[in-house]
Structure 1
């Protein structure tokens, strides 16, 4: 059965006014994300969960939530199907978040995050529903229509089964042709396919950068340089040479760096103060960083300012128990504390 377009959710963030930023977030493989807090994961034993939370998940939906929290007009799209897909639509409606998904016949996946008392995190990721050729083509047309009214389009995470990694490149080309700016956060073969399609921005972590460099035949030594390893800075610049206009690489506790063809910057991370008994939960911090980068770029009009807001957003997410959650006041206030220097 061919795909059909789903109905639009509520408006969510305030309607864009003059000069307002509009962002479309693409989550090709969303999920119902379940987070379990427990004392310890012991394989082969019965485990008692202390607390559980469930929400509409996927990297792009984390980006959506943080954008909305930071006052950015945003909308989500991707593939959803079955009862789980209906649950995701309802959950976004309940949160006042705008969405316009393409409907599949197959059931949307679930993911499980196990958070132990010592802060260790384990994730269980289902593969997702298969997407056929007709559905893939229908989504590109759907994306073209939605991207035409956005300034930026973020594309985050894995592709569902049935889609070739080159599909990321197709999405980038559709977005760029619409007049919006394509911003990519993916890994592996999908990243390798997307970069030559010339996205506006690539945002990845240093593990994903190492993997990409290996596919390009480039060395990525195991040094622990400070503030970030030199190979990370060089790798970000290599992404720009390969096709991205802007490349951003996060390195966890070592900070992050951003490169354009002409300039580069390093941002030092903030100290964390968890707002719950479970301690630091880094899941979703990269997505919060991604959202903060765009919100910061819009507010300050430059990349150092964008890095400051991105760093504060990533830190705020890590201080909360559920991915895609930030305290907007903390983000804007603490962004002024972030040290940024040229590299």
Structure 2
């Protein structure tokens, strides 16, 4: 079982539009409503793969109730921590070429007692998860060190931790030694404070974060694939996507694939790549099922092309 923790979940509305023009009246060609938030998406992808998962969420108001209902319909068990504020709603506009414009609401502010209850709910969960995935931004009211405390408590309970966050929350959590972190190339550049232009730059940055405490780094490089840097060795992989419809939740689907396959080594990296490539070919934040995967198209190697220039270099 894989447990996910999403401190700042959302109700995501995605509209497919022919083009995006400032000030225009846009007529959507398709729309969907999904439960959102990085950890929520990980749980949805895990459930789509037929693996048991529980999502721990602070939920409030009508959007929170709808998130729980939608997740239940997708086979995700929900452990809700009731909050006084209303869960946020986000909007995404997807164009045919894959360009995505997102409007993310800030979300409610959690009171100190709500923050403490969320931590305690994770610590006392009785599902004996193989992994706990802690994902996304922290809502107002939670200090950057909140994830570090969660990692420490989970380790005390004997669980392995995957952390997908950025900025001060990521840096504060590294000394707690999360088992794997999953930054994208831009988050990685921000963490080390320098631009990243090649795969070699990414490797050096990932090794730096490992030196600061992360036991493994799974770096998402967009169209350039993914890099896994761990004590067992470094691996680089790619997976083609024939058509890009939406990249919403693709990184989360990738993390789900990584954890489903054990969360370590080249086989887990290959699973992450297959899930990520499948996700970008689906509408909105739809999560791939096993039928959507093309594992035969994935390529993983230990022979890293360090001079490979990144399609989208990351600036600080």
Report if TM-score (shorter chain) is over 0.5: yes
**Matching residue of 2:95:** 116
Q: How far apart are residue 341 of structure 1 and its match? A: 1.1
- Closer, same or farther in 2 for the Cα pair 1:90/1:45, shift >3 Å? same
**What are the within-5 Å matches in structure 2 for residues 169-318 of structure 1?**
169-214=148-193, 219-221=194-196, 223=197, 225=198, 229-268=199-238, 270-274=239-243, 279-297=244-262, 303-318=265-280
Q: CA RMSD in A?
A: 1.5
- Closer, same or farther in 2 for the Cα pair 1:285/1:147, shift >3 Å? farther
**What are the within-5 Å matches in structure 2 for residues 26-175 of structure 1?**
26-146=5-125, 149-175=128-154
Contact 2:8–2:137, Cα closer than 8 Å, also in 1: yes
**Moved beyond 6 Å, runs of 4+:** none
Q: How far apart are residue 262 of structure 1 and its match? A: 4.5
Q: How far apart are residue 145 of structure 1 and its match? A: 1.0
Contact 1:181–1:200, Cα closer than 8 Å, also in 2: yes
Q: How far apart are residue 87 of structure 1 and its match? A: 1.0
Q: How far apart are residue 161 of structure 1 and its match? A: 0.9
TM normalised by structure 1 equals 0.85
Contact 1:156–1:184, Cα closer than 8 Å, also in 2: yes
Q: How far apart are residue 147 of structure 1 and its match? A: 6.8
Name the SS of the counterpart of 2:124 in structure 1.
helix
Gaps of 5+ in 2: 305-316
Gaps of 5+ in 1: 1-21
Contact 2:6–2:56, Cα closer than 8 Å, also in 1: yes
TM normalised by structure 2 equals 0.92
CA distance in 1, matches of 2:257, 2:27: 36
Structure 2 residue 307 is the aligned partner of structure 1 residue 339: no
CA distance in 2, matches of 1:182, 1:137: 19
**Matching residue of 1:3:** none
CA distance in 1, matches of 2:170, 2:237: 23
Contact 1:287–1:324, Cα closer than 8 Å, also in 2: no
Contact 2:261–2:268, Cα closer than 8 Å, also in 1: yes
CA distance in 2, matches of 1:330, 1:211: 33
CA distance in 2, matches of 1:245, 1:84: 36
User: Out of 326, 334, 338, which is 2:288 matched to?
Assistant: 326
CA distance in 1, matches of 2:29, 2:163: 36
